[in-house]
Copies of this chain bind each other. A is one copy, B any other.
Amino acid sequence: MARTAGSHSDITGPRVRQAALRLFARQGYAAVSMRQIASEVGVQAGALYNYTPDKQSLLFDLMQAHMRDVLGAVPDPKGRSAMDQLEDFVRFHIAFHFGRPDEVFIAYMELRNLTPENFEVIEKQRKLYESHLEQILDNGVSAGAFAVQDPKIATFAVIAMLTGINTWFREGGRLSLEAVQDQYWHMVRTAVGA
């Protein structure tokens, strides 16, 4: 099958998403123009519309893909002690988010730029992720492994603490990923009274 001259559908599509990801993370969705994305990809603005119906879908697709990835990678707690489940979750969250700084940044900075319908979808996925941790804490409290007044609040506190790492941690800094995981795991463990 001969290919049309100038045709690069299999390679341009991912590049559009990649450029949008990068630019949205650095400048913010509202501050990035379709022309800027096109320029980064190396095509004209009109060509972008072969890959996305509009700018909003570009943002939504990026966020949804990220949430799908997170939810698909969260560790299975089956057969693990409450303490081990919590440690698994903490180390996973840090490592996973560390490898995707742009996605993480967009996922919680650009929520307000989603249409109400798109927001509903993403928000549901975000709550599903939080419920993983809340379930671990709930079970651990029932089993007497943790001393937490309110598991919902502890869930918010732990996730905020862990996600905050992305604001300051850079690879090649004075600390390795493992050292960061160790220190945060220690703080989380003591904070929940384990």
Q: Which residues of A contact B (CB under 8 A)?
A: 26-28, 30-31, 109, 112-113, 149-150, 153-154, 156-161, 163-165, 167-168, 175, 180, 183-184, 186-188, 190-193
Q: List 11 A-B contacts (CB under 8 A).
A: A26-B112, A28-B113, A30-B31, A153-B175, A156-B168, A157-B161, A160-B163, A160-B167, A161-B164, A163-B164, A190-B190
Q: What 6 A-B pairs come out closest when comparing CB atoms?
A: A160-B164, A30-B30, A30-B31, A191-B191, A161-B161, A187-B191
| Across-interface contacts of A161 in B (CB, < 8 A) | 157-158, 160-161, 164
Bound: A164/B157 CA distance, A: 7
Q: Which residues of B contact A188 (CB under 8 A)?
A: 191
- In the bound complex, what is the Cα–Cα distance between A188 and B161 (angstroms)? 11
> Contact at A28–B26, with CB atoms within 8 Å?
no
Residue in B closest to A182 when the chains form the complex, CB atoms: B149
- Copies of this subunit: 2
Chain A at the B interface: mostly helix, strand, loop or mixed? helix
A109 to B29, CA, bound (A): 12
Cα A190 to Cα B27 with chains together (Å): 38
Contacts of A193 in B (CB 8 A): 190
Q: Is the CB of A164 within 8 A of B159?
A: yes
- Complex CA gap A136/B183 in Å reads 19
Given A161-B161, A163-B160, A164-B160, A187:B30 Cβ within 8 A: no
CA distance A158 to B193 in the complex (A): 16
**Complex CA–CA separation, A112 to B167 (angstroms):** 13
A187 with B157: CB separation less than 8 A: yes
For residue A105, give the distance in angstroms from its CB to the closest CB of chain B: 10
